[in-house]
Structures are given as C-alpha cells and as structure tokens.
Amino acid sequence: MKFEVTILGSSSATPVYNRNPTAQLLNCNEKFYLIDCGEGTQQQLIRYGFKASKIDYVFISHLHGDHYFGLIGLLSSLHLNGRVKPLKIFGPAALQEILDLQFRHSETVIRYPIEFVITEALHTKQIFENTDLIVETVVLNHRIPCTGFKFKQKKRLRKLLVEKLEAEGINIEYYPLLKRGVDLNLPNGRVLLNSEYTIDSDRPKSYAYCSDTLMDERYFDSIKGCDLLYHEATFLHEMLERANQTHHTTALQAAEVAKITNASKLLIGHFSSRYKTLQGLLDEARSVFEETELAIEGNTYTI
C-alpha cells in the first residue's frame, strides 16, 4: 500500500526564493491528506502534478499565517472548479470563524459540503479513522495553541498465496475468511490451515508531523517509534536563544527528539529565511541522528 509524503512548502514565516510556506501532501493508498496550507499551496500542487480535487482531508496545525493563508484560496478554487464532494477540515475552532468571515464578505456560498472538526491543543486525541488510517493529534508547545498530527496505518488483512490456492483448486468463496486468519473445515472433511495458504501483511507504519514547537518532552510519547518523523528545525543551534524566544526548535534539537523517541528516519523543515543554503542544518542534525533528510520541496518521501 502506498504511504508517502510530498513536500509542497518548507519555509518558515515568509516565502523565500525556491522555498514556500509550510504544506505537505500525504498519500495513503491513493487517498490524499493535505497537512497545513501555507501561501502558494495551490501553485505547488500544480507545479508537482497533483490535482487539488483529489484532496478530501485538510489538517491545519495552528493559526500562524504561514500554515494556513493558502487555505481560503484553495477552498475557493475548488468551488469555482465545480467540486461537489465533501471536504473535511481539521483545525482550531477559530479557523472556522475565519473562513466563514472570508466567505461572508466575498458573498461566496461554497457549493460543496465542508465538515469542520475542531482540534484542541490540550490532550492527545484520535480525531479521524477510516479503512486505511488512524489520525491522532500531537500537543506541541508554541506561542499559540498548536497540534501536530500522527498518521498510523491500520493493519491490513493477511496476504493470500493465490498460486497455491489455485493449484489446489480451493474455491474462491473461502478467500475472504482465509484473509481474516480463519482456519477452515470444508464440507468434504478437509482442513485448510490459514498458515499454509496466507502470509502476514506488512507491518503498519506511522508518520508524525511536528510543526512549530519548542523541544518539549511532553509530546515525546505521542510520536515514539515513528517510521518517519517530520520535525521543524527553524534555526541552527547557534540561534538557540532566538529559537526559544519564538518557540521554535533548532536542527540539533530536532535530531535529539528523533533519537530520544526512536524514530526510524527524521525529516527536518520549516527553515528560517535567513538560510539561503540548508547544508549546515542537515549537517548539524546528522551529527546527532544520522538518518536525517531535508524536507525539499517537490521531493516525495516513502514512509
């Protein structure tokens, strides 16, 4: 099953040349989840070959503009392009008020249903579940209420050894039960042991998205053991005082979080506009946690 994230924006606060404010697109089994929606997200979707119409879920971490200023434009374009299927938005309560105000004063009546799910930066909570994923909030420590999100794959059914089943003439009507792990007693007295005709499905994986935050051990349990951890790394560690003032983390601290929480891989982003090149941030993080990559716009990372 496909489980990957594409970086649409990796800059903090303001866009700079070749870097846009935060946005990511998660693809899980060809269902698309937009994570934050900074200014320019629509253009980035077009640039990298994604159809906005395929997005059915939007997750907004907090109400600093570099994480949601692109949302009203995206919603309006979907309306103008004739969308009719529902869209679900997860975000702070005030976001709904902001969107309603925008639509009211532009006299826009969105033609498709928008379901708004309020997130709260108080306690970790499951906010979504479908056949593929479970999504939980991650309570972060920023200047205003802010949540990250943890996307966890669901365990899939067992995989059938189809060639063996066909070779032995096993009726296809038994396949669903075998996939569920059931041993079968056939009418002719034959016993089909599940272990002989199926193998276990792949281990479910997880992706944690930690947007703006101070390094704070209170969210470590929420992201423990992730296959891929995205963590903001706004500054080099020489700027620690500035990071603390603005409630952000350094590349070194992001790597320490990955190491402490036993992440398999670390993806750092949300880079300050002061950095024209990013190699120093990568080097700093890798000095603590070797399995680190930069969140480069247009790149897709398999989870």
Does 222 have pLDDT greater than 90? Answer: yes
Q: What is the pLDDT of residue 90?
A: 98
Does 6 have pLDDT greater than 90? Answer: yes
Spell out a b/e string for 214-235, using b for 16 or more CB atoms within 10 Å of the CB, else e. bbeeebeebbeebbbbbbbbbb
Over residues 77-91, the mean pLDDT reads 97
Q: What is the pLDDT of residue 184?
A: 87
Does 259 have pLDDT greater than 90? Answer: yes
Asked if 43 and 67 touch (Cβ cutoff 8 Å), the reply is no
Q: What is the pLDDT of residue 180?
A: 86
Classify 87 as helix, strand or coil: strand
Q: What is the pLDDT of residue 197?
A: 85
Name the active-site residue from 66, 132, 212, 227: 66
Over residues 224-245, the mean pLDDT reads 98
Q: What is the pLDDT of residue 226?
A: 98
Q: What is the pLDDT of residue 95?
A: 98
Over residues 269-274, the mean pLDDT reads 97
Name the more confident of 238 and 158. Answer: 238
Strands 114-118 and 184-185: unpaired
Asked if 64 and 94 touch (Cβ cutoff 8 Å), the reply is no
Residues in the chain: 303
With both helix axes pointing from N to C terminus, report the angle between 251-260 and 279-286 in degrees, rounded to the nearest 10. 30
Over residues 92-121, the mean pLDDT reads 97
Does 77 have pLDDT greater than 90? Answer: yes
Is residue 66 flagged as an active site residue? yes
Over residues 134-151, the mean pLDDT reads 98
Beta-strand runs (E) in 38-132: 55-59, 87-91, 114-118, 126-129
Over residues 220-225, the mean pLDDT reads 98
Residue 187 pLDDT class (50, 70, 90 cuts) = confident
Other C-beta atoms closer than 10 Å to the C-beta of 65 total 12
- The share of the chain scoring above pLDDT 70, in percent, equals 100
Rounded to the nearest 5 degrees, what angle is found at the Cα of 220, between the Cα atoms of 116 and 6?
Answer: 55
Q: Rounded to whole angstroms, how far apart are CA atoms 203 and 158?
A: 11
- Position 34: which residue type? L
Classify 126 as helix, strand or coil: strand
Q: Rounded to whole angstroms, how far apart are CA atoms 121 and 144?
A: 9
Q: Rounded to whole angstroms, how far apart are CA atoms 294 and 283?
A: 10
Over residues 19-46, the mean pLDDT reads 97
Q: Rounded to whole angstroms, how far apart are CA atoms 265 and 206?
A: 11
Number of H helices, E strands in the chain: 10, 18
Name the more confident of 124 and 173. Answer: 124
Beta bridge partners of 293: 267
Handedness of CA 188, 190, 191, 194 (dihedral sign): negative
Residue 295 pLDDT class (50, 70, 90 cuts) = very high
Does 15 have pLDDT greater than 90? Answer: no
Q: What is the pLDDT of residue 116?
A: 97
For the chain, give the mean pLDDT.
95
Lowest mean pLDDT among 27-31, 184-188, 211-215: 184-188
Q: What is the pLDDT of residue 190?
A: 87
Name the more confident of 289 and 179. Answer: 289
Over residues 162-179, the mean pLDDT reads 87
Q: Rounded to whole angstroms, how far apart are CA atoms 143 and 299?
A: 29
Over residues 8-26, the mean pLDDT reads 94
